[in-house]
Structures are given as C-alpha cells and as structure tokens.
Structure 1
Amino acid sequence: MFENVDNHHTFWHCLHGNGYLKPCPASSIWSQVDCQCVRNTMLPTVTVTTTTTEETVLPTTETISNCLDSNLITFENASNYSKISNGYYGLTWTNAYVLDTQIYPQWSESGFYSAIKSGTWVAFNMNGERMTISIDTPSTFSIKSFVVSSAWNDYVTLSMVSQRASTYYKEASFKIEKNRSTTIELNWFDINAITFYASINNSLHGEVFVIDDLCLDSTTLSTSTSAGIEDKCSLNEIFYQGHCYYLNGVGGECPYGYSLGSETVLSVIADSFIGLNYKTAISNNCCVVTSEKSSNYGINSTDQCNKQGPFTVVPSYNGGGCRNYTTRHSRQLTFCMSN
C-alpha cells in the first residue's frame, strides 16, 4: 500500500499487479510512515530552502541563524561513527548515529558532505531504517528546523510523523537529494516523538539520510514555590501564576499553545528576564507586542535592543520611546504566555 501524492485522503492498494485507489475513513489521512490511515490534523506548513554542495560554506539562512546556540544541535560532541546515546540533549534517540566527515574523505561526493552546515559532524540513520527522537511524558520538545540530504541517492522522499501526548499529531513528506542540502522549517511545538523514514518511490527498502543543525527546544520541569505547584517551562521562560512567559522576536505571533501576555504581567516579571535570552529569534524592533492594542513597553536602542542575549536590560514602561506604538515589524519583540 502506498500514498497517493495527489490526495492524502486516499491511498493505493496493489494486488496481483493491479493498483486500486482506496479512500481513508472520514477524518483520517494516509500515513506512509505508519502504512495506514491515521487521524487527520492540519498538515504543517513546511518551508524548504535548498542549497548546492558548493553553497554550504555560505552564511546559514535566517531560519537557522535565529536558532539560539542552546537549542542548536550540531552533533560536534560525540565519538566517531557512534550511536547517539539516550539522554543526549535530554532525549531518547533510536537508530540515530553520528560521524566526523573528516575521517571519510572518500565520501566527499555524498550527502554526508552536502548536509554539513556547522563543523564537520553529522547525524544519520543506520542502514536506512527509521530514526526516532522522543522524550518521556510529561516532558515535550519542539522542533523548529534542520538541514538534511540523502546520503547516496537522488529522488528520495523523506517522511516524518510526530506524536503529541502519545497520539498522532502531524506529518510531512518532501524530496531530498544527494548533492544538495535542504533546510526544513517545521515549527512543530510540544511533541513527544518524531519519526523519520526515507525511501525511493515508496520502496520497502529504506534510504540513509543525513542531518545537521537540528534546532529544537526541550521542556524542563520546574517548581514554583510561590504558587505551590509544579509546572513545566521551556528554556528562557519564566513561570508566573500558572503560566510560562518568554520574549521573542516574532512580530506578535505566538506559536500553538501560547498567546500574547499582558503588559500588567510584564510590568511585574520583567526583571526576571535578566540573564535569559530570546526564545528563538532576535528582534528587529524593541517595542514589545502584548495583548494590548498598542505597545507601551520597550528596550532602549542604546542598551540591548535587537542584540543577542542574554538580557542585561529588560522592557520598561516607555522604554525606547515606546508609547501607544501600533506599527508591527516582522521580528518585533513579543511577549508570549502559555495557555
């Protein structure tokens, strides 16, 4: 059985040399990773950026450059040709291996080299089998983007399926090549697992793919003594009255599970951002977007406005001249809270 690339709500069933187009049940779509119909959710918007092998030495794309160092996995700190150990970045890794490409110059024309974005190390799936990255509940992680190439062949389809709370969440498929890297921006938030599988023309024989610059953020558990309850907040977030808050340069757009926080709360917890960092992206305007109709909090441009953290100065009332400011910029500083 194989996917119908023209309609995710149907699939091809091959029997005795004949192909039969069959529908999935209502409210479900075909998953080539699971080889069955699964519950449908809105398919993600996947941003694909391709670069040739020669271009891998150029500066990385804006998507990757906005990934904080603490969230960027470059696979530079593992032993040669080694299976990634469980616990690496707090995650469970299944059939995930790393190698230092410098030791394999004979592979210079392969995807092991075209996928390189940082350093010389890359990750790959051994023997073309499925690779899974997961974390034990109640913890979750969010995957923003990664760079990928096919190791040995062109016209390879890389499929991914994710889970949230141990149930199907989202999936996506796209083409990858051997001598051309592809930057995939997923922005899948608060998931428990993601499984990768690569093949050519839906063959049962899997293909090896190569990954570098994996940008993700895993949650950590923290205890708020003031609230007297345990809650979870991700890196660079502040826990206050049952919610997690953070600052990010995203132009007023908070991700799934988050919404704009109020200026009232910002005025109370602003000082707590000292020593923290942008969530994923540096801002290009420092008037803070909140749930109010206009921005009245900001950071002075002479201080740390639009600069890499950690924060040494935090938003203040009328800071940077922000008062009744209504203009929106693509990466305007934004105050988000968990729902």
Structure 2
Amino acid sequence: SEDCDFISFDDIGYGQELIPDGYRQLNWFGVHYLKNDDDYIYNGYAAALTSGKYIAYIAHIEDDQLQLPTINSINNITTFNARSFIAAAAWANDIQLSITGLNNNQILYEKTVTIEQLVPSIVELNWSNIDMITFNTSGGIPTNGYSLTRQVAFDNLCIVINPPEFKCPTTTSSGLYINSLDSETFWQCSNGIPYLQHCPSGLEWSQDKLTCDWKVPTTTIVTTTIVPPDCTLITFENIPSDDYSVSSWIPSTYHDLSWTNVYYLNVPYQEERHGWSGYSSALASGEYAVFNRGGESMTISKATTFNINSFVAAAVWAQNLKIDLTGSNNGLVVYNKTIVLQVTSATLVELNWSNIDTIHFEPYDGEAYSYFMYNTHFAIDDLCIKFH
C-alpha cells in the first residue's frame, strides 16, 4: 500500500531481544526480534524473512498465559490501521495464529489463520482505527524431531499510524496543553508525541496554572432585593487595607458595628492562589466578602438596635451546610431561622428583622464538596442593614 509504513525490523539494532517500546511509534509486549543468519536457514525464521536480515517473532505461548503478546498505540489516543504481514511458524506446522484488533479495550476485529513452517503466509487484515493487536497461538505439529514450540516469525508488517486530533507544536515539543473538547482532560507532549491525560474527579484543567484545578461549576447568580432607601448596603469594599492579599479581622468599629470572629478576604486573590471555592459563589459585588474564621460561630452586634434586611451567602467547603441564625435584643432572643447553604450556588437570605442588637451565626452539619476537606466555613456579602 502506498501509505503503508512497512516495518521490516532492520533499523532496530543488533541483537535478539524484546522490541523496545516506542519503536516505530508503537509499544510492544512479548514481541522479540533477531537477525536471521546461517543458523536459521531451514526453519520458519528464514521462510518469514521478506526483506533485510531482521525479523520479529512471538515466543511460545502457554495455554494458561495471562498476558498475550501485543502491539499497541504509543499513547492512549492515537489509532492505527493494520493492513498485513508475512508470517511463518518457526518449528512446527499447522500453528493456529489468532489475531485480535481492539480499540479502547473493545474487540473490533478477529481473525485466525493456519501458519506453516517453510511456506510463508501473507496475512491480510485491512483493519482500521485500532489501538491494539493481540496474538495467540494454538495447535501445531512439530517438525524434524523438534518439541512443540509455537513460535511465529513475521516480517514486513504493514501499519499506518493515524494522526491524532491534537498535534504538538513541534516534533520535539514537551509541555502541557489545553484540550478544547474536554475541560477534564489535557494534552501532555513528550518529544513531540501527544498523550491525553485525565484530571482527578472534580477537577478540570487550568492552562493558566498548568495544573488540574478545582472545577468551577455553573453557579446560581443572585442579587439582593432592591435596597430600601434607608438601608446601608455593606459590600466590604472599603475596609482599610493597602494589600489586597491580606485576609484579616474586620476592624472592630467598621460601620459602627462590633464583629466577632469575622474575617474579610479578597475573593479573586483567594481564587487565583488556591482555586475556586464557595467564596466565589458568595461574592455578590466587588472583590471582598467576609467569613467565619476557623469555621466557628460569628456574631455581628451594636450598642444600639438595628434592622437587618438581607445578605448573600454560600458555604465555602461543604454542601448542605446548616446555619442557625439568632436575632436578639438585650440578651433576649426575638428571631431565629435555620438556613441551608451550598458551595456551588449563592443564597439570598431575606430576614427583615427589626430592633435587634445582635445577630449570631452558628454553622453545623453538611458534607465535604468534591475534593474539599470538610469544614463549616461560610461567606457572606452585600449585607443590608438599617441603622436607627
């Protein structure tokens, strides 16, 4: 065939060894090569030799052998077409040679031929888009007093390597590249050969970071209700700090409120450094949100009373995170509510509580999301408060 890459094994080097992986862009298991010289004139090695001085052969296969000799794609995405080869049995007649063509471990083709010792056989396959060939042998009648050995020699293997859907930039490229068809996989080039790699479950490829990162799910975007004219919308954007990488306590008098165990952070910076999380879901405006440090309870209070209308919230690491909200005045509980937060979506929590001086947040339960470690952190943004 004009487009066939005939493999005659003459460029493999001197010896009688296993064919190394990578030879002719294929991997080889249990397939040997040898130089046919005067010692092999009257056997199947000489009969199979079609060109040059070297041939390949598969050794005797035991009936209970667990792994059969194979020829397969050098990576897990390239396929090839197997057209034909010349074969002869080395030391016996009537060897039954069974050949199987597979793709992704699915059998596409099967063929069994009878191989003789001194009469070479042209084994026509014409198989397309496979990534593995397996060989098995059975039967056989020993010749010339030899014990039964089912070795089969072959030469001029006609194979066409199909080009992969992704090509490395150069024939010597090594690097990592995005797979535009599947965000959960990526291409690894090694000496110009592409290998399709898979990210662990729950992660996706980030070309910016050149690593698998937390998968960014489609989040539910929420907005606060129309802010009443007398409501102060606290977006946490004006906390005094010259360093956006700082994550620290909210100043004790910020917006004339007392903040107990409440931390603020720059969400885009957090995502850039540590990947996506529920902080990104909670962010309703700007770049800053607040969270409960250590996953513990937090409190917002004031010396005088205030009304709390609403806020946007999301769990940071755990799905179905429950939070008990308690509104009190002078130590007396006047409101309570339990909310359930998700990592992958924000919740607009509408309270419309009046005349309280303290709101307490108590997180519990939930289960770790994806590969996150379980913790009871939650984040809030766009806190809508009316001051008296």
TM over 0.5: no
Q: TM-score, normalised by structure 2?
A: 0.39
**More strand by percentage:** 2
Q: TM-score, normalised by structure 1?
A: 0.44
Higher relative contact order (CA 8 A, sep 6+): 1
Structure of larger gyration radius: 2
**More helix by percentage:** 1
